[in-house]
Amino acid sequence: MNIWRILDIDPTEDISTIKKAYAKKLKMHHPEDDPEGYQQLREAYDRAIKMAKQREKIPKAEVTFTADTEAPVQVEEDTPVLTVQRRLSFQHIDATLDRNNPVVEEDTPILTVQHRLSFQHIDATLDRNDPVVEEDTPVLTVQRRMSFQHIDVTLDRNNPVEQIDTFMEQVKALYDDFPSRINPENWTKLLRSDLVWNIHQSRIVSDRLFHFLHEHHHLPKSVWLILEDGFQWRELIQKPFYMDKHSKKFCQYYLKQLDEPGLRFDTLLAATHLDRDKFLSYRDAAYQALKENQLEQASNSLNAAIALFADDPELLRLQGEYCQRIGDPDGALDAYSRIISIQPDDIDSYLARAYIWYHKQHVTEAQKECEYILSQLPNHPEALSLLGKCELKLGKAAQAKVTFEKLLAASPHDYEALILLTQIRGNMLKQVKKLPAKDRKHALQQLTSELGERKGLNKQIKPAIHFQVAVATVALALIMLFQSLLYNVYVDHTKSTPISNVELHQNGLVKLSSPEALKQIGPNQFVQAKLTNLRNLNIYQYTKTDKDGNSYTTYENYLTLNETGDIRKITPSGYVKIGYLGDTPILVITKHSTIEIEKTGILEFEMGQIMDIPPKVLVDTKKMLQHLELTPLFDFNKLNQNQMIEVKYLTIPTSPSPPLAIYFYGLILLVLCRFFFGSLYKLYIITRFY
């Protein structure tokens, strides 16, 4: 059996590599689905682990792997050995030795034993050159030079429950020792335990460890990644049964630990008398609150953490961020200055201070901060960019030009630097062109000499223009998409178009109390009214598509649709009905019918829109009045044959709240518009002088 081919790896003595290969292949040979494949895989894994452990005790120079056989075991002279046949399977020892009448599988090589072998004498028998045992005690037939240490694993089996309990005690001991807890190597070593990789027990170990972490979860991101690599909890969390079994809140917390940057833990090593877990709870709560912009909660958590330990740089960084959010730049400066006093090489804190000085219009202080950063990291892009802006504000255009050129040399795709550099060159040229004609030529020559040829700059401008055009095009396409989505949501919510609502606000809402008032109202006017004796005419409004793919609104009565068989093919968008406005019959279109309307015959609507009656509707109305025997109730000749009302809202007790989708799409549109017009402005700046 080629164990390395089965594990699909090259020969190795790295136990971690062997276990990872085993875990990967185990997904393909699950014991329930492929018992034969699993048995073969397990034997290959056991042999590989055994070989690797044996070779840990042998100098590497003496170790040689072969593809199909195990390397010979080096044993001491005078060590007794068992008389066994080739390829002895130790997994059958228990079954062989623990039965009064040993029965083993056919063709399985076994040890030759006598009846009722007493294991208590094995060590005494095998550890002596001349075995001496009590009389009448059956013993194994042995030869010299056998190392019995190689079957200890088989004969000394612990209770699985006790093994798992011992493992969890090791986990707790590791967690309780803070310096060891935050060292990823300790967790890697712990997860190398055979218990973790045992298919029958790994699920129990995984579940107990995950449950343990519910209450003991203050770990660095590096440790969370090691645990995920070992147990693949991310995949399990997606399954409903796992989320039901474990806390949903903790499952979400676990995913955040994997996906978010996280905070440092080594800054707490010096705080030996600190209740670290309590402090970390407050610090983590402040971190999450700031991410969700819950400033009041962030303040409470920050204050509680500072009361325990005020010199943690990570906590001070959160304090600085909080102060900036609430508009307290002085507090933020104090926080970042405190970090620098603790960690003088913390470049991020210098940069944060530089931005605060810059926004406070203390440009000179910001310039000094940037110059210090660049003395440590000469090509730091953010420091170069901010320094160039400071120099521009201080009127040092020539120095700013050099700074931005250096930034572009390090970051060729920094389009903001390119735009500012273009502005600097353009402003210099504009100043020269204002000079008298006799001085202009000489000044232009001198300026060209100082600025250098612009061909190199043009090579950078061209891709910048292409980039901004691409951004503007994509932004415009997305604007059209989300504008369409917003329009549809608006129409579904208001039952009218934005233009109709504008007309409503311009013309006002007229309350109809008599037929005479209707004659004074033109098309598209919005009205309120109450109709009585309402009856359904079985005339449907629906949408059709012509041969060119254009949609249009049409009307048809029930009799015609039934004859053509189209009654089941259409989805009505409105229903034509007839009722009385005062003593005059009038047609209305409603979006749906209600039981209350059918029972009472009364339709009271808060908003409807006047529209001209389509000729087809008039013809169908006369036909359906006769068919439904409604002519005694409604005199067609008295029907208002010029206008009908399309009902928008039946009742609006209060103005309905806009759906969240309107706010969502509106916000996205604002962001996209900002990108679009920002790109247009940058294009204008880039191409302004070139």
Digit-coded pLDDT (tens) for 637-653:
888 878 888 887 665 44
Amino acid at 238: Q
Binned at pLDDT 50, 70 and 90, residue 133 comes out as very low
Q: 154: pLDDT confidence band, cut at 50, 70 and 90? A: very low
Identify which has the larger pLDDT, 80 or 508. 508
Sign of the C-alpha dihedral, residues 581, 586, 587, 593? positive
Taking only the tens place, the pLDDT of each residue in 575-591 is 999 998 888 898 989 88
pLDDT for res 583: 84
Instruction: Mean pLDDT check: name the lowest of 122-126, 478-482, 649-653, 673-677.
Output: 122-126
Report the share of the chain in percent with pLDDT over 70. 73
pLDDT tier for residue 115 given thresholds of 50, 70 and 90: very low
| Torsion sign across C-alpha atoms 234, 236, 238, 241 | negative
Length of the chain: 690
- Looking at residue 314, its pLDDT comes to 94
pLDDT at 360 over 80: yes
pLDDT of the residue at 337: 95
- pLDDT on residue 308: 94
Residue 680 reports pLDDT greater than 90: no
| Position 405 pLDDT exceeds 70 | yes
The three-state DSSP-derived secondary structure of 108-154 is CCCCCCCCCCCHHHHHHHHCCCCCCCCCCCCCCCEECCCCHHHHHHH
Whether pLDDT at 383 is above 70: yes
- Residues 570 and 540: beta-carbon distance below 8 Å: yes
Averaged pLDDT, 266-294: 92
pLDDT band at 69 (very low <50, low <70, confident <90, very high): very low
SS3 647: strand
CA distances to 52, 175, 270, 272, 544 from 267, rounded to whole Å, are 38, 17, 7, 11, 71
Statement: residue 162 has pLDDT above 90 = no
Q: What is the mean pLDDT of residues 374-385?
A: 93
**Counting beta carbons within 10 angstroms of the beta carbon of residue 591, is it exposed (0 to 12), middle (13 to 18) or buried (19 or more)?**
middle
pLDDT band at 110 (very low <50, low <70, confident <90, very high): very low
Flag whether pLDDT at 689 surpasses 90. no
- Beta strands 643-649; 584-590: pairing state: parallel
Structure confidence at residue 389 as a pLDDT band (50, 70, 90): very high
Residue 244: what pLDDT?
64
**Cβ–Cβ contacts within 10 Å for residue 433, how many?**
10
Tell me how crowded residue 24 is: count the other CB atoms within 10 A of its CB. 12
3-class DSSP state of 240: helix
- Tell whether the model's pLDDT for residue 53 goes beyond 80: no
* pTM reported for the whole predicted model: 0.51
CA angle 627, 632, 634 (to 5 degrees): 85
Q: 133 versus 265: which is more confidently predicted?
A: 265
3-class secondary structure, 612: strand
* Mean pLDDT calculated for residue range 299-316: 94
- Please check the confidence at residue 240 and state whether its pLDDT lies above 80: no
**What's the confidence (pLDDT) of residue 100?**
43
Mean pLDDT within 430-435:
74
Q: Which residues contact 276 (CB under 8 A, 6 or more apart)?
A: 178, 218, 268
> Can you tell me the mean pLDDT for 80-104?
40
Q: Is the pLDDT of residue 112 over 60?
A: no
Rounded CA separation 124/245 (Å): 50
Look at 38 and 96; give whichever has higher pLDDT. Answer: 38
Per-residue pLDDT, 357: 95
Residues with Cβ < 8 Å from 231, sequence gap 6 or more? 206, 209, 210
Which of 332-346, 519-533, 603-617, 652-666 shows the lowest per-residue confidence on average (mean pLDDT)?
652-666
Q: Is the pLDDT of residue 359 over 50?
A: yes
pLDDT at 608 over 70: yes
Per-residue pLDDT tens over the stretch 521-546: 766 677 888 888 888 888 998 888 88
Buried b (16+ CB within 10 A) or exposed e, 599-624: eeeebebbbbbbeebeeebbebbeeb
Greater confidence (19 vs 501) lies with 19
Please check whether residue 204 is in contact with residue 164, taking contact to mean a CB–CB distance below 8 angstroms. yes
Q: Which residue has the higher pLDDT, 368 or 118?
A: 368
Average pLDDT for the chain: 77
Average pLDDT over residues 680-685: 75
pLDDT at res. 206: 87
**Structure-token pair, residue 282:** 């407050």
Per-residue pLDDT at 224 exceeds 50:
yes
Over residues 154-170, the mean pLDDT reads 73
Band of the pLDDT at 484, cuts 50, 70, 90? confident
* Half-sphere exposure of residue 280: CA atoms within 13 angstroms, side-chain side: 20
Lowest mean per-residue pLDDT among 177-186, 231-240, 522-531: 522-531
Range with the largest mean pLDDT of 55-59, 68-72, 158-162, 536-540: 536-540
Q: What is the mean pLDDT of residues 408-420?
A: 81
CB atoms within 10 A of CB 318: 23
Residue 657 has pLDDT above 70, yes or no: no
Lowest mean pLDDT among 164-168, 246-250, 562-566: 246-250
Contacts of 92 (CB under 8 A, 6+ apart): 104, 105, 108, 110
Question: Which run of H or E residues covers position 351?
Answer: helix 347-359
Residue 299 has pLDDT above 90, yes or no: yes
